[in-house]
Every structure is written in structure tokens, then in C-alpha cells.
Structure 1
Amino acid sequence: MKNLFLHTSCLLALLCVSPVLFANSSDTAFINITDTVTDAGLQLPAGFTASIIASGLDGARHLAITKQGGIYVKLSRLKDGKGIYYLKDTNGDGLVKVQYGFGNYPGTGIFIKNGYLYASSNEDVYRYKLNGRGEVIAPSQPEKIVEGLVNRNRDNSKSIAVDDNNNLYVNCGSYSNSCLVNIGSLKAPMPCPLLDSVGGIWKFKTNQLNQGYKDGVRYATGFKNIVGLNWNSHTHSLFIMHHGRDQFHDLYPQLYSEERANSQPAETMYELHQGSDGGWPYVYYDNKLHKKIVSPEYGGDGVEEGGAIIQNPVVDFPAHLAPNGLLFYTGKLFPAKYRQGAFIAFHGKSPEMKKGYLVAFVPFTKNKPSGEWEIFADHFASDPASQPKPCGLAQGPDGSIYVADDAKGNIYQVGYKR
């Protein structure tokens, strides 16, 4: 960080605010931070602790953490005109000392790989060169590597991941729930015309500027919307969390009771390879029947099985939980059962379970899911006056994990006492 100076202030004459470093640039913004760390009050397995290390970052979506412990937070709503905030504890006492914002675009995706910070708006993907301290060198001069992706203001987050071979994977969610593109009709066209630009994952190069659809590869198709995705460095493959569709009872009450619609379709985890097909909008995965069922828009009656060549999920979860974050744990701080396993941040609530807004865990053995999923962190919404919604997940260099809440703007740190 160059040309930084120290600033100390007090908020409302009540909260003493810790020192904040300012960059000498009109392209960065700053927010005050308190000098206390708040106990998060989460329900966790024995031995785990959680604290709120930052708050007020409304719209905090995904996170990326440097080897030096700096935290980049991507916002879906601009704060003081900025869509990315950098947080840093400079002396290891758990308090954020550095906090500044840059990037004039909202969005969800953010990822660190090979000396670059990658960040997305709802249409484009940018990259920023990092210095040896993990800090962005030129926050006002990012390189645009992907542009012109579809944004119709629904399921438009361009979540991203980067592999070990300079490939960038970008979600392009569908703005249609089930490809009902003909007004007034409850039958969808075959093939679904939207799949040329949404409903899947596109692959681009990380080192090529100004790429568009014509320069990329449709890596996977048949997925309505993917907010949580991550590259698994052990399997050398991309894993995703698929948001299932809705409106079964609203549109087809003769086939789906309200109760059944509340339990369908499953939220699902997939391991992807080039050419993977999840079947949307033609079929969906029923986690009660454990089958792929033909969608009513394509003539299904709610029980007819279909999609014989469509990929099966590796894990399924209750409907409407809205998985927004995915993290594979590679640290050594947590007990052995968590190593190589998957943490998932659920941003919604299951009517069937009558709960939600939680972080779940899926154990992995030999690179495959090896047991039932379980609730890892709960009670984000225990206060009736607030409604935190877990969204982003990241792992710190010490092995703790961080959770972003995009409703209240909290950043949680979860650790373990040996």
C-alpha cells in the first residue's frame, strides 16, 4: 500500500474507532470500523468459536482471502460508490485495522489465483494484479477479461472460480424459472432457446482481455442458477451448488400440492466436467423419489421419470435452501473429519424443514462425498429483529473460515480451540 496515512475517529461519540489507513486516491472509499470483536452467538459443534469481525458491509456476497490474511469482500450493492472492500488485521489481535473500498460495480464473484484478484460485476469479469503483500496494485485500473454476459436482473450473479491451468469458470444464471418464454403458455419450447447464453457455466481464459461468449466455451449446461461454486484442488474438478426452480404449485396446482411444491425440487451439488448437463429446464431432481422427473413445462405429470443421460447430483439437499457459497476445507486447524470436506452457505429457508440461513458440512473421503450432510453453523437468524443470510465462504491462512452475510453485512470468523 503506497502513500497511506493514519486516521483515528470516534463514531457518534460512543464507539471508539480503531486506526484506519487511507490510500491517497479518489478511486477508493473508506468506512469506520469499531475496536471490538463481537461474539457471533452461533450454534456450532463443540470446540468451535465464532465472532463478527466486521459489519456494515451491506450486500457482502463472496470472499477471497490472501496468504497474508487480507480479506476481499464483494458487494452486490455499492457502499459509498464501491463494490469491493479490503479488510486486514495488521498485528494479529483479531481487529481489522485496514479497510478501504474500490471498484465501482456491484456483483458477487471474487477469487484469488496466481497473483491476481478476479472480481465480477453482473455482466463482466475483471482482474487486478496483487503485490507481494496481497494488495491490489492499481485499484482504479483493472483489466477487463470478460464482457457482455447476459444480465436481466434475475439470477444474474456471475460467480467465478479459477483452475490450475488459467481457466476461468463463470456462472450465467437463467432469468427464466423454467423457460416459459411464450406469454400465456404453460408449455415451454424444445429446445429451450435460452441455453445459448444462460443456464450453465462458461469457461474463459484468465490471461486474455475483452472476451465474450464467442471466445468462451459452454463448459456445462442445464443448470438454472449457480451462485456457489469452487475449484477442488484435490479432484482437479469444478464443483457447483445448483439453485432449483420453483412455482410448481403456482402454475400446476393439479399436479403439485402446496406441501409437495415446498419440498421440490432438491438443491443439489454436482461435480462438473466439460459437457456436463444438469437437465434444466427439461427435468429436475426429486430428492424424495431419488429420480430425475420430467418438468411439467415439458409434459411431465410429477412422477414421470426422464433424463436418462442427464448427470446425477453427488449430494442433494432440501428444496428452497438457496445454496450461495461453497468451500472445500484444506486447513489443519479443524478436526480431521472436516479436512477435504465441503462447507455450504445456505441463503434461504426450507419450508419443509422450517429452518434455513445456515452453514452445512458434507464429509468427503477419497475425493467423494462420504456421509450425510449436517448443519455446522446455525442461529444466524436467532434474533427476531434481524435476518442475517449466509452467502460467501472463504478459508484463512490459519485454517479458520469466514462467512459473509449479505443481509446485515456481517463478516464472521469461525475458529477452533484445540
Structure 2
Amino acid sequence: MLKSLLGATAMMALAAGTAAAQSNLEKLGQFKSTGVTEFTYVDQGGDRADQIRETLKAIKLPAGFEISLYALVPDARHIAVGPQGIVTFVGTRKTKVWAVTDRDKDRVADEVKDFAPSLDFTIPNGPCFSRDGFLYIAEQNRVLVFPAAEFFYESPDVAAFNVVAEGNLIPPDEASYNHTARVCDVGPDGKLYISLGQPFNVAPPEKLDLYREVGIGGIIRMNTDGTGREVYTYGVRNSVGQDFHPETGELWWTDNQVDGMGDDIPPGELNHQTAAGQHFGHPWYGGGSVRTKEYEGQEVPVDVVMPAVETVAHAADLGMMFYTGKQFPSKYKNAIFSAQHGSWNRTDPVGARVMVTFIGEDGSATMEPFAEGWLTGDGEYLGRPVDVAQLPDGSIIVSDDLAGALYRISYTGG
């Protein structure tokens, strides 16, 4: 009986917490106060900042480039820089979204505090902005929009609305702790693009019809009010990085490939999508042209687009962006900067670096290291880059969820 009472009490508490969170979202949508008045602030000084600066002395960059600590941001993942250059929002795989402000414009953040503290976020990994200043945050199973977030973030209460209500991004029964960090972008067509990683190492046959229908293991797109949802991309294992070419408007994205096949296969992927509905191989391919053991020997029932670049196996290619700034040398115009988070199950670890990909006039792409040194010769990770974003001055910032930091890379000549 005691167990029953405890269980009932726990369920009532959980229901009350969920109702309170929903009530706060409703209040914010009605421009009403929630009563929350306190922020969580992150100290930007001290020994931790000094140690990270010491680590950065070992990072190798091309001549003329410098790296520095921009901000201490716990669990820093994907980045959305406000179009007005006022504040940068940083998602996490936990429960916080952080607002990062450089008030004196000395290219070092002065303040880091939590955004919309009255709301309960669940894996708010993916923030992104529309050009007209609407902030979207893709969570595990919800998408919210914050109009004028760049101007209202100074208050704990900010206007907030559902784009996709809780439980409607994917079927609730398919919610998983694995491959559940979403990313989003607003495309040249004004639509919202969201990645939906599938939760398995290799998706099993009995799940394929459902996943194809709802877009799990793919990239979906919809109008920014949540209507008109469709599956744009198929055959994705777990993409956690995407961006649109600034001239062609075509979508490029990274994909993390199958584990447990050995140190050197299958390769990771940087993909180039030229039309809606294209298929990129999973689960018949584990990465590149390497077939999965689970589907080996079976006829592939779809036309597969092979990757534009095959990356080193298990380096975990994550966030990426096209460079459109004017600070870097001209060779970097429209190049892709991307983060390799680093391997977790490779005998000899690889990754933990920032890569750059140059795209030729013929559409061919070549990738090479740009910033590296977070992985020591002894196989120890001093940092794990996650995402790359561009600041208004043309420098770039890199997030690191191990160190809990944002780094700024600038070009000073040389």
C-alpha cells in the first residue's frame, strides 16, 4: 500500500510540474507574467577560464588566424547568432538555453544567463533564427518560437508560442534518449527544416514504414507556423548539422554513421541535397558505400545519393555553416566550417577539431583540418567541438560541450 501511495504521489507531482510548465507557456503566449524573476548567471572569470585559455595555446590554425575564449557556457551545443548582433543563443542537451551577450563589443562575452527561465526545456539542442528575428528552438519532441527574442531576452518573461506542441514532433512512443538532439534552420524558401535522428544504431525493418511516414531518420520541413509539414530528406542516420549554400540555396548536412563495424569503417558523411525527397542510404548503407551487416545482401529498394565528402570514421561530424563573412581571406568565401566532436568507441580516438570544406566550381568538395589540438597524443580530449557560427564582424565562434565554452576564431593577417 505504501508503494502505491508513493507511486500515486510521484505521478501527481509529475502531473503538477507538467501543468505548471504548460501554464507558463500559455501565459507567455498571452503576454502575461509568470512570476519568475530570477536568472541563472555563469561567472566568466576564475581558474576555469584561465585553464581553457591555456588549452587554447596548443590549438593549431592556419597562418594569420587566432583563437580565444569567447564565453564560458555550460554544456554548449548548437548556436544561433541574433541577426541584430545583440545576443547569441546556445542550446544544450540538458534543460537550459543560454543567452550570451558581448555588451561592450570587445569580442569577449560579458554576460551569460539562462533564457526564458520559467519554461521547462527538454534537450533544447537546436536554436535557429529567421532573418526577421524570430528564434526557433527545436527540442526532443517540441518546437517553440520566440518573436523578437533578441530584444526581449533581458526579461525572464518573453513571448513564446508552440510551433509544434509537445509530443507532436515525433510519436511519443518513439521518444528516445539516443540521437535526439535536433537542429533547425530556416531555409531560403522561408520554411523551417528540422533533423530527426533515428534512435537505433541501425534502424530495424519493422520501424521503416513509420519512420518514412513521420520523417524519423530524415529531415522534415514545414511552414514557420507549423503547418504544411513534409519529409524533405530520407535515409539519414543521425544528422546534427545543416546549412544552405548561400548562392545555390541547396541544403548540405552532416551525418553520423553506424558504430560497431571497426575502427576504419564506415566513413562519416557530408551530404549535398539538390532536391526534395532524395534518399541518402540508411539503413542499407552504414556510411558511404559500406553496407550494414543487418541489411547486407539485400537489394536496396531506393535510389541513393552518395555523400559529397566521406569523412574519417567515427569522428562524429556535427554542426556546420557556410562562411559568408568578409574578415577571412577570400578563399574561405562560401566554404563550409564544421565541427568534429570526436570518437567514442574507436581504438585510437579521432576528431575533436574544426574542419573546412572547399567546394569547387564543378561542385566537388574537399575537406581538411582548420583548427585542431583538442585531442592530445595520449588520446585525451581537452575539448569536443560541437557547432560553428558566424559573428557579425566575420569571425566565427565554436561551441564545446566538454569544456563548456565558446571559442572565437578571428583573422588578423599574416
Q: TM exceeds 0.5?
A: yes
Q: Distance in 1 between matches of 2:258 and 2:263?
A: 11
Partner of 1:19: none
Q: Distance in 2 between matches of 1:415 and 1:244?
A: 31
Q: Is the 8 A contact 2:315 2:342 kept in 1?
A: yes
Q: In the TM superposition, what are the counterparts of 1:329-408 in structure 2 within 5 Å?
A: 329-349=323-343, 351=346, 354-366=349-361, 368-370=363-365, 372-382=366-376, 387-408=382-403
Q: Distance in 1 between matches of 2:285 and 2:359?
A: 27
Q: Which runs of 5+ in 1 are unaligned?
A: 1-23, 181-187, 249-260, 287-291
SS of the residue 1:247 aligns to? coil
Partner of 2:44: 33
Q: Is the 8 A contact 1:117 1:136 kept in 2?
A: no
The structure 1 residue matched to 2:284, chosen from 277, 282, 285, is 282
Partner of 2:17: none
Shift of 1:353: 7.0
**1:84/1:308 CA distance change after superposition, 3 Å:** closer
Cα offsets for 1:164-190 (capped at 9, x unmatched): 33200111111111123xxxxxxx459
Aligned AA (1:295): T
Aligned AA (1:321): A
As a proportion of its length, which structure holds more helix? 2
Q: What fraction of aligned residue pairs are identical, expressed as a percent?
A: 24
Aligned AA (1:52): L
SS of the residue 1:348 aligns to? coil
Shift of 1:387: 3.4
**1:52/1:216 CA distance change after superposition, 3 Å:** same
Partner of 2:24: none
SS of the residue 2:200 aligns to? coil
Partner of 1:175: 199
SS of the residue 1:29 aligns to? coil
The structure 1 residue matched to 2:245, chosen from 232, 235, 251, is 232
Q: In the TM superposition, what are the counterparts of 1:207-246 in structure 2 within 5 Å?
A: 207-208=225-226, 215-246=228-259
Does 1:327 pair with 2:321?
yes
Q: Is the 8 A contact 1:123 1:158 kept in 2?
A: no
Aligned AA (2:63): A
Q: Is the 8 A contact 1:224 1:243 kept in 2?
A: yes
As a proportion of its length, which structure holds more strand? 1
Shift of 1:278: 0.7
Aligned AA (1:44): L
Partner of 2:305: 311
Q: Distance in 2 between matches of 1:240 and 1:275?
A: 15
Higher mean alpha-carbon deviation, 38-47 vs 389-398, is at 38-47
**1:25/1:274 CA distance change after superposition, 3 Å:** same
Cα offsets for 1:362-400 (capped at 9, x unmatched): 112348344x31110101234977531100110001110
Q: Normalising by structure 2, what TM-score?
A: 0.78
Q: Is the 8 A contact 2:384 2:402 kept in 1?
A: yes
SS of the residue 1:392 aligns to? strand
Q: Is the 8 A contact 1:293 1:305 kept in 2?
A: no
Q: Distance in 2 between matches of 1:387 and 1:87?
A: 23
Cα offsets for 1:128-169 (capped at 9, x unmatched): 112775857775441110232232111011111111332001
Partner of 1:129: 147
**1:201/1:367 CA distance change after superposition, 3 Å:** farther
Q: In the TM superposition, what are the counterparts of 1:246-261 in structure 2 within 5 Å?
A: 246-248=259-261, 261=262
**1:280/1:27 CA distance change after superposition, 3 Å:** farther
RMSD: 2.8
Q: Is the 8 A contact 2:91 2:98 kept in 1?
A: yes
The structure 1 residue matched to 2:66, chosen from 49, 67, 85, is 49
Paired residues in the alignment total 357
Partner of 1:160: 184
Q: Is the 8 A contact 2:36 2:157 kept in 1?
A: no
Q: Is the 8 A contact 1:129 1:137 kept in 2?
A: no
**1:325/1:27 CA distance change after superposition, 3 Å:** same
Shift of 1:69: 4.8
Cα offsets for 1:236-268 (capped at 9, x unmatched): 1211101111223xxxxxxxxxxxx22111111
Does 1:74 pair with 2:91?
yes
Q: Which runs of 5+ in 2 are unaligned?
A: 1-34
Shift of 1:220: 0.9
SS of the residue 1:373 aligns to? strand
Partner of 2:29: none
Shift of 1:29: 2.7
Cα offsets for 1:72-98 (capped at 9, x unmatched): 1112123xxxx1111111222233223
**1:174/1:27 CA distance change after superposition, 3 Å:** farther
Q: Distance in 2 between matches of 1:179 and 1:68?
A: 41
Partner of 1:264: 265
Q: Is the 8 A contact 1:172 1:200 kept in 2?
A: yes
Q: Is the 8 A contact 1:69 1:396 kept in 2?
A: no
Partner of 1:296: 293
**1:414/1:383 CA distance change after superposition, 3 Å:** farther
**1:142/1:191 CA distance change after superposition, 3 Å:** closer
Q: Normalising by structure 1, what TM-score?
A: 0.78
Does 1:62 pair with 2:78?
yes
